[in-house]
């Protein structure tokens, strides 16, 4: 059964220009499967972006039905006091993607 949803690697699994993500070849293997580098994405969108750069992927993410994916590049306000605007207060949008954003996108445990 095809669910229509895939796990998307924001920094792509096949990354030819690792320096654009501020990771060395050695660090790449450490960062690629970290939770902070993963998101849910519809198959159709994922197939259209393949291993594109974050700048291209971020535009596609905004088409996702999953708000956490849609909000990666830009938070979307919907009303004055809605679940989305309350959620946005706990989130950060990212204009670029690198090892620092991967680390920062996962909350630290207390």
Any domain includes 110 = no
Query: Using CA of residue 105, residue 21, residue 35, residue 26, what is the dihedral sign?
Result: negative
Q: What is the pLDDT along the chain (110 residues), one digit of tens a residue?
A: 457 999 999 999 998 888 889 999 899 999 999 999 999 999 999 999 989 999 999 999 999 999 999 999 999 888 788 888 888 998 999 999 999 999 998 766 54
Any domain includes 34 = yes
The residue range of the domain holding 27 is: 5-66+96-104
Name the pTM for this structure: 0.88
pLDDT of residue 108: 62
pLDDT of residue 37: 96
Any domain includes 22 = yes
**How many domains are there within the chain?**
1
In this structure, the dihedral spanned by the alpha carbons of residues 8, 100, 95 and 67, taken in order and rounded to 10 degrees, is 40
Any domain includes 76 = no
Any domain includes 84 = no
Whether residue 42 contacts residue 69, with contact meaning beta carbons closer than 8 Å, is answered with no
Any domain includes 55 = yes
Any domain includes 79 = no
pLDDT of residue 107: 67
pLDDT of residue 1: 44
Any domain includes 28 = yes
């Amino acid at each position: 059964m095809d669910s229509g949803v895939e796990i998307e690697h924001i920094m792509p699994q096949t990354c030819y220009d690792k320096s654009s993500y501020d990771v060395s070849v050695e660090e790449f293997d450490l960062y690629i499967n970290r939770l902070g580098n993963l998101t849910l994405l519809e198959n159709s969108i994922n197939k259209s972006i393949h291993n594109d750069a974050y700048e291209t992927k971020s535009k596609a993410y905004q088409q996702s039905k999953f708000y956490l994916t849609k909000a990666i590049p830009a938070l979307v306000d919907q009303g004055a006091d809605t679940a989305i605007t309350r959620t946005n207060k706990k989130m950060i949008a990212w204009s670029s993607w690198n090892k620092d954003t991967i680390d920062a996108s996962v909350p630290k445990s207390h």
